[in-house]
Amino acid sequence: MTRLIDYGAWASSRSDPSKRRTWPLRRAGWRFDRASGAWDGPDGERLTVSFLGFAILEREDADWEHPGTGYGTQWHGGRYGMPYARRVDGDWRPRVAVMLARNAVKVQDLMLSRPLTAVSAADARRLLVRCRRAADLYPPDDPDLFRRLMDGLEERTTRIGSYAMVEYRRGFAGPVLALAGGLLTPVGSFLLGSDPAGLAGIAALAAGLACSGLSSLIDGTERAGGA
């Protein structure tokens, strides 16, 4: 029996979901087969994890009715009710793109019923891109259905991005830290110039640089989420 498990889109553009399964699976008694790139479970299961955030779970036991809960946690949208598992008879490849698109529609509908932020907009775009990538790698057996689902996803993604631009407001932490850094850095430089061995100057300069660095980091994160 084969199950497709949809964990959701990857957490960020710099992460690979398949690599995030290593420690939880090893801790649960799974062993990685380098030859096949799959994980062998303690009860005869085999789990193949895709970088797109879904997994193929296989087990020979025909009476096995559910995938259980020990195969990993959500990478995206834990707030939105994933993961989702579906039984597949036959080849899973032509079916995965439609399954991911259907799940993405459900997730985006839930997003639209809640307050939206820049992170919401980024999540919506990742879901959209993920479905496109899945269709490129595994062409769907029902291209017309997939196209209709994608049309709906594109429309929802646009709406989520538009609403988030209005509803989202930058947090106070970044500007406050930037102001503190701008004040502390020259004060620390002045004190350090007056007394090179003085701890007050060193502390003020270090605090100013730290505040400026944190402000830049927060600003970059917020911009990346809203880009």
Render each residue's pLDDT in the chain as its tens digit; 227 residues. 788 888 765 545 555 666 666 777 787 788 888 888 888 888 788 888 888 878 888 877 655 555 454 555 544 444 444 556 777 888 889 999 999 999 889 889 988 988 888 778 888 898 899 899 999 999 999 999 999 999 999 999 999 999 988 876 555 565 666 777 777 777 777 776 776 656 777 787 788 788 777 776 665 555 444 44
Same domain as 20, residue 119: yes
Instruction: Output the pLDDT for position 77.
Output: 47
Same domain as 159, residue 178: no
The count of domains in the chain is: 2
Same domain as 135, residue 52: yes
Same domain as 143, residue 75: yes
Cα–Cα distance, 16 to 11 (Å, whole number): 8
35: its two tokens: 């030859």
Same domain as 70, residue 135: yes
∠ CA(115), CA(157), CA(142), 5° rounding? 130
Distances (CA, A) of 161 to 82, 142, 149: 22, 29, 18
Range of the domain at 218: 173-226
State the pTM of this model.
0.65
Same domain as 42, residue 73: yes
Same domain as 207, residue 143: no
Same domain as 194, residue 110: no
